[in-house]
Structure 1
Amino acid sequence: MSTSVVLQQVEKRYGDVEVIHGIDLTIDPGEFTVFVGPSGCGKSTLLRMIAGLEPISGGSLLIDGDRMNEVPAARRGIAMVFQSYALYPHMNVYQNLAFGLETARVPKAEIQQRVQKAAEILRIEPLLKRKPKQLSGGQRQRVAIGRAIVREPRIFLFDEPLSNLDAELRVQMRVEIAKLHNDLGNTMIYVTHDQVEAMTMADKIVVLQAGIIEQVGAPLELYNHPRNRFVAGFIGSPKMNFLEAKVESADGAGAKLRAGGSEIVVDRQVGAGDAVTFGVRPEHIGITEGSGVQLANVKVDLVEQLGGQTMVYATTADGQAMTIAVDGQRQVELGSMLTAYVDPARYHVFARDGRAI
């Protein structure tokens, strides 16, 4: 049975300093929710408050409708996986998995059954007699996750669990954690600063900045319809291009902007003379005629050949940086001039305060 988590006007203060500012959030039963944001935005603090490792300064935390603010961490039905594996070096893998259950006086036969089941799920049965020092980083992280699974919690919390792994292992573990969620069906809350992890794993992404929620939604909802410039710049890799623009003329049907040294017509309600930001993702810019409407003439500063994609880093006529991601292997000369075209259905316009128009 999956579990719901509801935060109602949750606040966190350290003395006079408020770091979490009245957050409202509902996490549905069985949902994989990812908290994402830059360092210091409050995502780990929020996770620790849900876990019961940090007291809540204001508001309410409800788990399956029951208020949990004063309930000790051990009685919340939560298991947490940290960035550090925190395995006992003198115990083998089986003992590491069993230790918490032994401390809770679970019968020996049940411990054996739970450990065996977790080992099968994570494919670590051949490692049960090894000590942590005999394991790779990915194997240690599996053991740390196994230690959470054997507790049979209502909710799994993950605090940047893949940060210590190399790039290839991170991709592999991302897939394994997503499969684990599909197999177990538990509610999972996952903290990361890596928006690629968030996009690939989440049912729901919560974008945080400076202790407030900027936007909540499914990964593609945030990618396609960011609420403001912060979310637009944080979700998507490589990040969105932002060109400072001026509204030259406007009527009921739309407006004409000057962006990147060129004129472009947009179907947005803005006022003549307004200063706005024109946003377009690198993958929505083409360099061949017919790949959209003309956006700007740019000078090529750097070209990266990635095999399946060519990254072009360029500068517009008015000195603004632009990144262009072109499918396939394209020969582009350094220092050459290109015309950049934009997909007319895939651009964004932001007001001076950062709000999406």
Structure 2
Amino acid sequence: MTALSLNKVVKRYADLQVIHGIDLKIEPKEFVVFVGPSGCGKSTLLRMIAGLEEISDGDLTIGSERMNDTAPAQRGIAMVFQSYALYPHMSVYKNLAFGLETAGVSKAEIDVRVQKTAAILQIDQYLQRKPKALSGGQRQRVAIGRAIIREPKIFLFDEPLSNLDAELRVQMRVEIAKLHRDLGVTSIYVTHDQVEAMTMADKIVVLRAGRIEQVGSPLDLYNRPVNKFVAGFIGSPKMNFLKVTGQQETGTGTAVTVASTQIPLPPVRGMADSLGVRPEHLSLTDGVPLGPMTIQIVEQLGGSTLLYGALTDGQTITVQLDGQQSPQRGSQVSLFADPATCHLFDKDGLALR
């Protein structure tokens, strides 16, 4: 199995630098997800790994070999793009076989690999169809099949599910995760969807403006974000950030004031500027008091209920409750929080520990 390393990797377009000294190691068999907002550099970084963009500075190593100047076809990489990029005049069989034919693989070997790949992806019944006769999910399976059939050392996925509807996205997300488990090939997956990142990744790399903000397992990032950016990006609905107007040390920890309510928390070092608490960690019954909230909107999702409202000082807040709750719009409820799930951030947005 193959490891991959980026050492101080930089990308410039003339005087514009878009990737700023990335250091990252991806272990063999890992499923790593690059996630971040549009323009953060995740697709550019993926294309540099693939060899579709030149590396301005730094080193890319695959296995033990430096790959900066190696042609894309020689890197042992297969890439699946957002667009299916299938040949419309070819059957599914020919789409899968074409790359092997151009590489001079024998017809017998091609047939074996096509049949095996089609069986893995459950598209063997569609081998004689043209792409126009396939659904979006089936086309994406064919696109993934063209990558699998090459038997690469590393898979690269560039937002492969963006063109699918919500139900198909969930289905394909599960199938790609199973595929990775079965094949055991090192994989890098780019998405702006943090739900995809949380559900698929062994390791998440959160990017912003061409820099890595944090690297860790999904639950590491969820439970211990290093700053407000990561805390707000990971988790859905997103974390609430409430302005802290006072702070004092107590005999057992730190007390902060939010909307005129003093909230006792574990001890931290530094001065807090904001309190972060996830909607699912708020309650109407248990924990330390966070103060009253006036409900503005209620969303019934069946398995959960979302409340959108405001504290006494006007700060907006979102609450996620289990099950089907029925509070009334315009009513006032008392909020409670578990101190163990609260986060404090300083004026620069860094997490206080």
Q: Same fold (TM over 0.5)?
A: yes
* Partner AA of 1:137 in structure 2: G
Structure 2 CA distance for aligned equivalents of residues 251 and 333 of structure 1: 37
* Partner AA of 2:31 in structure 1: F
CA contact (8 A) 1:82 1:161 kept: yes
CA contact (8 A) 1:35 1:189 kept: yes
Unaligned runs of 5+ in 2: none
What's the CA shift for 1:251?
Answer: 4.9
What's the CA shift for 1:88?
Answer: 0.5
TM-score by length of 1: 0.97
Structure 2 CA distance for aligned equivalents of residues 78 and 270 of structure 1: 46
* Partner AA of 1:285 in structure 2: L
Which residue number in structure 2 is paired with residue 298 of structure 1?
Answer: 293
Structure 2 CA distance for aligned equivalents of residues 31 and 260 of structure 1: 44
**Residue 343 of structure 2 is aligned to residue 344 of structure 1:** no
Structural mapping, 1:6-155, within 5 Å: 6-155=5-154
CA contact (8 A) 1:207 1:213 kept: yes
Which residue number in structure 1 is paired with residue 316 of structure 2?
Answer: 321
Which residue number in structure 2 is paired with residue 331 of structure 1?
Answer: 326
CA contact (8 A) 1:20 1:212 kept: yes
Deviations 1:176-203 (CA, angstroms, capped at 9, x unpaired)? 0000001100000000000000000000
Which residue number in structure 1 is paired with residue 348 of structure 2?
Answer: 353
CA contact (8 A) 2:264 2:339 kept: no
* Partner AA of 2:23 in structure 1: D
What's the CA shift for 1:260?
Answer: 3.0
Which residue number in structure 2 is paired with residue 192 of structure 1?
Answer: 191
TM-score by length of 2: 0.98
* Partner AA of 1:263 in structure 2: Q
What's the CA shift for 1:253?
Answer: 4.0
Which residue number in structure 1 is paired with residue 278 of structure 2?
Answer: 281
Structure 1 CA distance for aligned equivalents of residues 251 and 330 of structure 2: 41
CA contact (8 A) 1:5 1:28 kept: yes
Deviations 1:128-163 (CA, angstroms, capped at 9, x unpaired)? 000000000000000000000111100000000000
Structure 2 CA distance for aligned equivalents of residues 350 and 269 of structure 1: 10
CA contact (8 A) 1:250 1:270 kept: no
Structure 1 CA distance for aligned equivalents of residues 251 and 334 of structure 2: 29
* Partner AA of 1:191 in structure 2: V
Unaligned runs of 5+ in 1: none
Structure 1 CA distance for aligned equivalents of residues 49 and 20 of structure 2: 15
**Residue 241 of structure 2 is aligned to residue 246 of structure 1:** no
Structure 2 CA distance for aligned equivalents of residues 6 and 135 of structure 1: 38
Structure 1 CA distance for aligned equivalents of residues 272 and 228 of structure 2: 14
Runs of 4 or more consecutive aligned structure 1 residues displaced over 3 Å after TM superposition: none
What's the CA shift for 1:277?
Answer: 0.6
Structure 2 CA distance for aligned equivalents of residues 315 and 220 of structure 1: 29
What's the CA shift for 1:275?
Answer: 5.1
Deviations 1:10-37 (CA, angstroms, capped at 9, x unpaired)? 0000001110000000000000000000
* Partner AA of 1:282 in structure 2: P
Structure 2 CA distance for aligned equivalents of residues 233 and 102 of structure 1: 48
Structure 2 CA distance for aligned equivalents of residues 152 and 247 of structure 1: 59
Instruction: Determine helix, strand or coil for the equivalent of 1:120.
Output: helix
Instruction: Determine helix, strand or coil for the equivalent of 1:164.
Output: coil
Structural mapping, 1:154-233, within 5 Å: 154-233=153-232
Deviations 1:232-284 (CA, angstroms, capped at 9, x unpaired)? 0000000000001123422574322111331111223356xx45110000000
* Partner AA of 2:200 in structure 1: M
* Partner AA of 1:92 in structure 2: S
What's the CA shift for 1:296?
Answer: 1.8
Structure 2 CA distance for aligned equivalents of residues 275 and 96 of structure 1: 57
Instruction: Determine helix, strand or coil for the equivalent of 1:294.
Output: strand
Structure 2 CA distance for aligned equivalents of residues 155 and 298 of structure 1: 50
Which of residues 301, 307, 310 in structure 2 aligns to 1:312?
307
* Partner AA of 2:140 in structure 1: Q
CA contact (8 A) 1:264 1:294 kept: yes
* Partner AA of 1:24 in structure 2: D
* Partner AA of 2:17 in structure 1: E
Distance 1:177 1:121, change over 3 A: same
Percent identity between the two aligned chains: 65
The CA RMSD over aligned residues, in Å, is 1.0
